[in-house]
Amino acid sequence: MQCPNCNGKNVIRYGSQCSKQMYYCKECKKKFMEKTLKNKSYSPQLITSAITYYNLGNTLEESIKLVNKQFKVKVSKTALHYWIKEFSDICTYKKLRSKIVKKYDGDIIFEYGFEHSGLTYNFMYHLPKVEMLCSKYPSLIKYLKEMKKRCPSDIFQNSRRCSQLKSQVVIKKEGIYNHACKLAGFALTSCTKNNKRHNTVENFMLINDSSTIACEVPVWFWDKNQNFGVCGHIDILQVRQGRIYILDYKPLAHKESEEKVASQLYQYASGLCFRTKIPLPMFRCAWFDENMYYEFNPMDSKINMTR
């Protein structure tokens, strides 16, 4: 057994969580969970793709046809039904799927590519989840639905990135292992290239999670005090228990600079608060990977920005 955080081999068993074996690395002092997919007849890519096809609204039969064509295999409908049940604790979209399939016909994922500062950002939102989970936030629904025509390209060319600014954020960095970690871990079993990790995690969570409503969400605002524009892209946007969660996927999250990442997330929350007029107390910010999740309340922030 090798530690995914530091690649160390001084690893011991450390109890279990959610029926999965936990491990503890004596070298970096971090806990991690056993791989979700092992001892399977089919590859992780095939299994995650099959579940994803199904959660995009396809029937069992249609999903099997698509996965068999893609991977040139002959998977049975029974196998997919078993995987859906086996991983329902991770792919929680299952509890919303039947209601959504009855109400929505056709595309449920809307995607727009934005060229900002020479890079392409694939903004996506899940229409049914946006409408179902954001009923108390009509301004957020409007913001996401009208992004294609309202997002100003010029401010993204000439403004400062949220990651370039610093603000003092008072948080106590205590990580937990939660559902976001499970989703990331499951998604990454199918990822073979490091430069694809962000997209893999974002896309998987958008389609297969019950609370993720959008990813790569543009935010922008003008800072009157500093007299310059601020902009950025939120990795993952969720709505849980009535609050809006701004999540940033960070490989090796425990090694991230607390000051830097918390400052970046605070700017995201401030920008979305400004654009939607939703009070800042309704937001929560977090960064995570497959092993650890760190969350804070942006209201705990002390604003002291520097260029």
| Residues contacting residue 211 through CB under 8 Å, at least 6 positions apart | 92, 129, 133, 238, 239, 240, 245
pLDDT in tens, 103-141: 998 899 999 998 877 778 899 999 999 999 999 999 999
| Residues contacting residue 144 through CB under 8 Å, at least 6 positions apart | 125, 130, 213, 214, 217
pLDDT in tens, 189-210: 998 888 899 999 999 999 999 9
Give the neighbor-by-neighbor strand order of the sheet with 31-33.
Answer: 11-17, 20-25, 31-33
For residues 172-176, give the mean pLDDT: 79
1 or 185, greater pLDDT: 185
pTM recorded for the entire structure: 0.85
The share of the chain scoring above pLDDT 90, in percent, equals 57
Q: What type of residue sits at position 168?
A: Q
- In the predicted model, is pLDDT for residue 5 greater than 90? no
Write down the mean pLDDT value for the chain: 87
pLDDT in tens, 88-102: 999 999 999 999 999
Check residue 247 and give its pLDDT.
Answer: 98
The answer to whether 52 touches 12, Cβ cutoff 8 Å, is no
Check residue 7 and give its pLDDT.
Answer: 73
Check residue 39 and give its pLDDT.
Answer: 47
Check residue 19 and give its pLDDT.
Answer: 46
| Residues contacting residue 127 through CB under 8 Å, at least 6 positions apart | 104, 107, 108, 109, 110
DSSP string, 34-68: PPSS-S-SS-HHHHHHHHHHHHTT--HHHHHHHHH
Pick from 261, 243, 241, 265: nearest CA to 252 = 261
The answer to whether 183 touches 209, Cβ cutoff 8 Å, is yes
pLDDT in tens, 48-84: 999 999 999 999 999 999 999 999 999 999 999 999 9
Check residue 131 and give its pLDDT.
Answer: 98
Rounded CA-CA distance 74/306 in Å is: 58
112 or 162, greater pLDDT: 112
